[in-house]
Chain A
Amino acid sequence: MIRMFQAELLKLRRRRVAIGVAVAALAFAAVASTAIFLSASPTAAPGDGRAPTVGQLSAAGGATDAFSLGVSFAGILVLVLFIANFAGEFTQGTFRTLLMREPRRVGLLAGKMAALLVFAAGVLLVAEILSGAASALIAPSQDVATSSWFGLDGLGAAATDYVRALAGITAWALLGAALAIFVRSIPVALGIGIVWSGPLEHLTQDAWGAASGWFPGLLLEALAAGGTDDASVGRALTLVGLYVAIAAGAAALVFARRDITA
């Protein structure tokens, strides 16, 4: 597992990847912060959706509000990236090559996933720092006070936002990887993943409101939003954790037992 962890990191430790991540994090910080601060209104009004008020942005956690809201939209992207990564190992035949070097299959999967999640955690941290910096730059122009951002409460709020984002990203990543292992095809896995977490869950939610408290994609949205009327953070974490554990366990079992013929 440790060897596989190191091997996967070796794939990611490249200048091209570093540049791509830096550009993406900068773009994320700029777009998320600008969008949040420009859409902030002095008082809450109906139809504002998830847009915060100036007062909310001036509170202790205001520095990372843009990060939290931005990351909540990144779930599908993470799902797509992990599906592409894991299903790509099948379609390229590289799982076969790796298994000849590391035949302990569950260890191989665990090492690879751990490396990708460590990498994702690093990217998230960079994105949070950059979006906080961007928010601090934009805040004065929108009359948002920043004095309470830099105290212990502010740091605590930032840490909470980070952990919640990481939990969400981890869940999306594991669900994507599991789906890729089940179907072993990038287009098929992408089709299932996107249709399920996008239109299918939301259409079901329109017809059956309680779906928000049960479906994994909607629960992850609730988690990113810090809880909703239908799903508290605790419920979202518990149920998502259960779904992810089942999916990851089943995927590991399938991967350990299935013949590698491609």
Chain B
Amino acid sequence: MTTSTMPGGDLGYDRATPARAPALSLRGLTKRYGDRVAVDDLTIDVPAGVVAGFVGPNGAGKTTTMAMLLGLVTPTRGDGTVLGEPLSDPAAYLGGVGALIEGPAFYPALSGARNLAVLATAGGHDLTQVPRLLDLVGLGGRADDRVRRYSFGMKQRLGIAAALLGDPRLLILDEPINGLDPAGVHEMRGLIGRLASGERTVLVSSHVLAELEQVCDWLIVIDGGRVIFQGPAAELLNRTGATLVVAPEHPGDLERLRGLLATAGHDVEVGETQLHVEIGDADPRSLAATINRAAGDGGIVLAELHVARTSLEDRYLTMVKEGGDR
């Protein structure tokens, strides 16, 4: 059995114990506010030990879903389990959950250390971990300053430290990168990556997939309160269809080239000055050679011929657009 060590100190979390159940499993979770449906029949599973990105545009239902997980909002319908305990009994599982939701909220007149001590006491956690957690998030030197003097980024980091009280098995972070400057974003991303090491499950939301792409190994995409995609991040990446970009030397030849390729049975999309040929299961190198030969046979000189992969962000935006069009 091993015990992890994290920057700032050993948090004493046993990461060697194998996961037995999903950290999170929701079935038909729904939340209505009058006529408005904030979360619509949400069914998701998050395996234990992953960093799950919870992605969707503003108003997609991410925060409401997280608030339901944390017992702050009562679902209109649906059920599920969190850390193996029923969603209807937050007191049974919240001891193993740490969260930062809807931005950091602290007592401005108290110091960062005192704020954490108040929360640790309310949660029945060991007070001796407070200095270690403040060091972990880089606030060790400002522990005794009143929170009203903290910058937004510092409050955000204090929020992460508060979420880590009690060394939670499940960490829920709602838009932790929101409002941070580029350096803060970089720092926060690194911090999330470090927190995710071992068996801890992290559910982190954002409306910008690019912010999470580097740290997530599991993705849940929602829009309008409904799930659009859930699964390994790599699976979504594989779904991002690669194309061959083909451009003739003379733009006037674009339509004739399209005709040639379409006649040869290729799936072609027309851009402003380029054609996009779906690669599908074909070998990109062989396909490029075939296209080059066909263009040459037709008397067209190619100025551009290369593979382009749709980014995860593009794929996400397309999914959200498709979801919105439905």
Contact = CB atoms under 8 A, between A and B. Distances in A.
Contact of A260 (B72, B110, B118): B72
Given A11-B110, A259-B73, A3 B122 contact: yes
A92 B109 CA distance: 12
Contacts of B94: 100-101, 103
Given A97-B162, A99-B71, A261-B73, A92 B108 contact: yes
B122 A94 contact: no
A7 B119 contact: yes
A78 to B, nearest CB: 20
A142 interface: no
A23 to B, nearest CB: 17
A84 to B, nearest CB: 12
A11 B72 contact: no
A262 B106 CA distance: 13
A103 B74 contact: no
B101 interface: yes
Interface residues of B, number: 30
A11 B94 CA distance: 23
Contacts of B70: 99-100
Contact of A3 (B106, B109, B110, B121): B121
A229 B209 CA distance: 72
Interface string B182-222: 00000000000000000000000000000000000000000
Contacts of B105: 92-94, 96-97
Contact of B124 (A3, A10, A94, A262): A3
Given A11-B110, A93-B105, A97-B105, A260 B121 contact: no
Contact of A7 (B90, B102, B103, B118): B118
B304 to A, nearest CB: 52
Interface string A94-113: 10111111111000100000
A6 interface: yes
Nearest to A105: B71
Contacts of B72: 96, 99-100, 259-261
A262 B67 CA distance: 10
In the A-B complex, list the 5 residue pairs whose CB atoms are closest, starting with the nearest: A93-B105, A101-B123, A7-B122, A7-B121, A101-B122
8 contacts: A6-B121, A10-B121, A14-B110, A99-B71, A259-B74, A260-B67, A261-B73, A262-B102
